[in-house]
């Protein structure tokens, strides 16, 4: 996340969810395979940089090696990093009340 913060001008990042133990993850209704369980998933905002859309677009265009980047309900961004030995897929999505869609810049 330090690379993300640096990319966003060193501005404060507000993390709403990071590592989750399996029991908390299940309580939240998330899958056991969630990258939060592995300490590789983070939900965050950076309002001093701009809107979640501004942050999302900037990170999509960056060289940060994320696995998935998801803007969720226009309220926060989920970023997940690849597991050891995996290549970053750099997939980007938008989730809203109508479902999930692939983001294409």
Q: Percent of the chain, pLDDT > 70?
A: 100
β-pairing, 68-72 vs 91-96, is: parallel
Residue 46 near residue 14, CB atoms below 8 Å: yes
Residues 73-92 have a mean pLDDT of: 97
Residues 71-76 have a mean pLDDT of: 96
Q: Percent of the chain, pLDDT > 90?
A: 92
- The pLDDT tens digits for 43-61 are 999 999 999 999 999 999 9
Q: At 34, which CATH number?
A: 3.30.1380.10
Residue 91's DSSP bridge partners are: 68
State the DSSP code for 51.
-
In whole angstroms, what is the distance from residue 37 CA to residue 26 CA? 10
pTM above 0.95, yes or no: no
Range of the domain at 11: 2-102
Residues 29-42 have a mean pLDDT of: 96
SS3 101: strand
Domain tally for the chain? 1
């Amino acid at each position: 996340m330090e690379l993300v913060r640096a990319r966003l001008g060193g501005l404060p990042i507000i993390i709403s969810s990071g590592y989750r133990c399996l029991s908390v993850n299940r309580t939240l209704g998330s899958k056991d395979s969630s990258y939060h369980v592995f300490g590789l998933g983070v939900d965050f905002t950076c309002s001093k940089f701009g809107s979640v859309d501004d942050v999302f677009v900037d990170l999509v265009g960056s060289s940060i090696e994320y696995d998935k980047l998801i803007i969720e309900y226009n309220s926060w961004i989920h970023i997940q990093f690849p597991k050891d030995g995996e290549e970053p897929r750099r997939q980007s999505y938008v989730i809203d009340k109508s479902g999930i869609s692939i983001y294409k810049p």
